[in-house]
Chain A
Amino acid sequence: MALAVEIPDRVDPYLDIDEYEPEADLMVLNLGPQHPSTHGVFHVKLFLDGEIIIKAVPYAGYLHRGVEKLCEKLMFTQITPIVDKNDYVSPMMNEQAINMAFEALLGVEVPRRARYVRTIEAELQRIASHLLWLGTFGMDLGGALGGGATIFMHCFRERESILDLFEEVTGCRFHYNTHTIGGNRHDITPGWADHVKQALDVIDQRIPEYESLMTGNRIFVERTRGVGVLKAELAMELGITGPMLRAAGVSHDLRRHAPYHAYDEIKVKVQTEKAGDSLARTLVRIREMSESSRIVRELIDNVPEGPICGHKPIKIATQERAQSGQAYACLESPRGELGTYVIGGGANKGASPYRLKIRPPSLHAVSCLPYVLPGHTVSDAVTILGSTDPIIGEVDR
């Protein structure tokens, strides 16, 4: 469809709306903060010329809980359950990211068995997270997918089986608090490997079904192809990582290109697409689920024997102290580079971080909206916001 408004190649997000054609009859539409398609409390102010968006201004902060300030008062060993709630779709990743930074700061080694178990848990969590995204993205597109909630229910059915696996190991279905400095609290149970394989057998069978349910649906393809195109160069300048960057054609995956955990012992196939639109992001995420399943199958039978935590058990909270130093560690979460920057030498005689900063991939993903939304219609805005996979708990912290 030819647009009524001309949109330049590189949108100016700081466009002065008063200088934009004073005669034009503009309308301001507030998408959010309370709207089912914003995946949380997120507010985008849309300036419309007719039905076309000419400027978008996102507002974050409705879910700001002061996690970083809180972490300055808590001790290293007490922080894990707090950061669990940042990215509330993949808590395993938050725990691993923060503990990797503490291990770097304190100079603690992680035993090989713990690294294997962490890798397996991370990949299972990635499948669960992508399944939840796929389901809610189907909901965003609403009636396009045969009654809206069809794919949502299907995806949640498979996600349940992964939560059951985590419950078996950690005792919790969510917010596990299973990682600690130097390893894991809970070792995998005998027979868990068989349960994992059983669950993956079902998931492997269903992933092609989801792919055909999405890409075989003409309405879905029409609503996502060419919608929300993000070019590789802009994506990198914006700091966007993960499936969004890979969908724009950049082969960058920390699991492959800066390995951590046990990823240096296996070969991860990086899934990329060239188009950079919402359809490409969907395809990349669906293929990543298959790839994660393959990685888990490769590792699950070869978990080495040995201790699960290389560190003496934590009896008192002030056990770990760092008087100075700064560390940064990052991993590939389902949404991209989840990093933690930590400065040692804080309160409680060095048992707390002086300053802790989380680099959330979702914050960069949603900051692309002012560049991507102009030129699209309001109905596409919901598609684009959904395709960035925003987790507002992580954006606001």
Chain B
Amino acid sequence: MKGVVLDKKVVALLGERFGVEEFPDDVPPLLDGTRHFELARALKDEIGYRLYGFCVASHWLETTPKKGGDPDPEHYEVATGLRAPGKRSTLAVWRVRLSMDEEIESLVPLFAGADWQEREQYDLVGVRFANHPDLRRLMMPEDWEGHPLRKDYAIETACPPWR
């Protein structure tokens, strides 16, 4: 992806053990969603990516290609970043594609810092994290309806006054 160069060890790990074939220049490599947790554990225990980076979820509406063909259904994408601290610090980033009813494995058992980041992404985008110990809203009030960062959530949506 732009601004981040993956370390050779990460590329080797992703390619050999996790079956990632494409490493595009402009987006992070796409990983099979069921192996998300396994990859994070391998990065943490084997190559030293021990510093939690970030979790970014995005919502994509259904699109139809202009040239015809099958439409791309509505889905989520979750990008995760882990950092190797210290000398020549590098970042490992990958993304996972989820359909609207799929859940992604939470990284909280490995990285305590994933707790708030994942709560924020659940709150704002609506992605559900399996095995998260405390999946509550973080930013919005508990009784808020909808997830504001979804693309079908209009910025003018009427909201009840704050309690």
- Chain A interface residues (CB < 8 Å from chain B): 13-14, 60-61, 64, 66, 68-70, 72-73, 100-101, 104-105, 107, 233-234, 236-241, 245, 250-252, 254, 257-258, 324-330, 337, 339, 341, 343, 354-355, 357, 359, 363-364, 367, 371, 396-397
Contact = CB atoms under 8 A, between A and B. Distances in A.
Interface stretch (B12-20, B65-73, B98-106, B131-139): B131-139
Secondary structure at the B interface, as helix, strand, loop or mixed, is loop
Contact of A14 (B53, B86, B133): B133
A257 B149 CA distance: 34
B138 A61 contact: yes
Nearest to B54: A359
Contact of A257 (B52, B56, B88, B140): B88
B81 A328 contact: yes
Contacts of B134: 14
B58 A396 contact: no
Contacts of A252: 51, 85-86, 89
Q: Which of B2, B81, B90, B137 has the most chain A CB atoms inside 10 A of its CB? A: B2
Nearest to B58: A355
B139 A325 contact: no
Given A60-B138, A101-B3, A328-B1, A236 B50 contact: yes
A391 B89 CA distance: 25
B91 interface: yes
B42 interface: no
B51 A236 contact: yes
Nearest to B85: A252
Contacts of B31: none
Contacts of A328: 1-4, 54, 81, 91, 93
Contact of B56 (A61, A70, A104, A355): A355
Contact of A61 (B28, B54, B79, B140): B140
A69 B4 CA distance: 24
Interface string B96-121: 00000000000000111111110010
A68 B138 contact: no
B149 A236 contact: no
B26 A324 contact: yes
A257 B3 contact: no
Contacts of B112: 13, 234, 237-238, 367, 371
Interface of B: 1-4, 26-28, 50-54, 56, 58, 79, 81, 83, 85-91, 93, 110-117, 120, 124, 133-134, 137-141, 148-149, 155
Contacts of A330: 91
Given A69-B148, A238-B112, A341-B54, A326 B133 contact: no
Given A245-B51, A326-B28, 9 more contacts: A68-B149, A70-B155, A236-B51, A237-B113, A238-B112, A239-B52, A240-B113, A324-B26, A326-B26
A375 B148 CA distance: 38
Contacts of A73: 155
B5 to A, nearest CB: 10
B85 A250 contact: yes
Contacts of A105: 2-3
B52 A326 contact: no
A231 B82 CA distance: 19
B89 A326 contact: no
Contacts of B87: 257
A238 B23 CA distance: 28
25 contacts: A60-B116, A61-B141, A69-B148, A70-B155, A105-B3, A107-B2, A236-B50, A236-B85, A237-B52, A239-B54, A239-B111, A245-B51, A257-B86, A258-B88, A258-B89, A325-B2, A325-B27, A326-B2, A327-B3, A327-B4, A329-B3, A359-B53, A364-B116, A367-B112, A367-B115
